[in-house]
Amino acid sequence: MTKPTVNTEVLERLLGHLNDASQRIAKELDSQAKQIDHTIRAFVDQGEKVTARLIKTVETEMRSQLDSLQREVERLAGKVNAVVSGTTPPKPSPAAKATHPATKPAVKAARPATKPAAKPGVRAGAAKKTAARKTTARKTTAKRTAA
């Protein structure tokens, strides 16, 4: 058998094509790696922004709750101190109440009478009872045949 001879020119062209193809593949892979890196950075940046907003919201709400709780504790501490010392906090006097504008008149304006005045001892809105009607007992046909 004879050995096939390899043409060096064909072999060099084949190696050149393979080299070009591998360089194109390397460039494509590098481009795709950059795109993936860019997308991951965008997701991370967006996540950091959302996390920062969430932390700010939680912090604001916690401060509000803490302030409210602190006011409540101070109010209760004042009540406890008043009870321990044997004094009670001053209640608003009737004169102080009178200084505030009245939202309702003290005496209602006369309304036209729609119902007569109720008798003492009778509940308002109590319904009158009516006598129940008596019905005559009739035998049904089934009872008549059995009887």
Q: How sure is the predictor about 75, in pLDDT bands with cuts at 50, 70 and 90?
A: very high
pTM to 2 decimals?
A: 0.40
Residue 121 falls in which region: left (phi positive, over 0), alpha (psi -120 to 50) or beta: left
Per-residue pLDDT tens over the stretch 5-61: 668 888 999 999 999 999 999 999 999 999 999 999 999 999 999 999 999 999 999
From residue 125, alpha-carbon distances to 31, 117, 120, 122 in Å are 87, 12, 13, 9
Residue 106: what pLDDT? 54
